Amino acid sequence: MIKLSRVERKKLEKNIKKSNKKRIKSRFICILFLIFLLISGIWIVDNSFRSMMMLKEPKVFGFNKINERMYEISFCGDKFYIDEQKIYDTYRYVKNEINGFVEVLIKNKRPGY
């Protein structure tokens, strides 16, 4: 076993950490790319099958704006209707709850911390 000086050990540890970070980034990018390929492949096969068979059944993936407030999302043959106003109301409620929680934390903060 080769004995390394403290500086050499630190450089070696730093290089190992960099290589681990690069490996994690590359794996993450590969996983995102595979998910993209999977979704686009399913979408392409679904569209080509529908055009060949002239089907008008619900799509695998679909998005449709019904009116100014309502949206229809199709996923695996099921249709989901989403009201934009409910999303905004829920967002405001969650935002107010989080702001209130943060204010309580700030008020209860002990001096010296």
**What are the pLDDT tens digits along the chain (113 aa)?**
678 788 888 888 898 888 999 999 999 999 999 999 999 998 898 888 888 888 777 677 888 898 888 999 888 878 889 999 999 999 999 999 999 999 888 888 766 55
Residue 6: inside a domain, yes or no?
yes
Residue 84: inside a domain, yes or no?
no
Confirm if 61 and 39 have CB atoms less than 8 A apart.
Answer: yes
Residue 75: inside a domain, yes or no?
no
Residue 102: inside a domain, yes or no?
no
3-state DSSP assignment of residue 1: coil
Our count of domains for the chain comes to 1
Q: Which domain holds residue 48?
A: 1-56
pLDDT, residue 50, reads 81
- The per-residue pLDDT of the chain, averaged, comes to 87
Residue 21: inside a domain, yes or no?
yes
- Which residue is listed with tokens 């960099």? 18
d(CA 12, CA 3): 12
Residue 3: inside a domain, yes or no?
yes
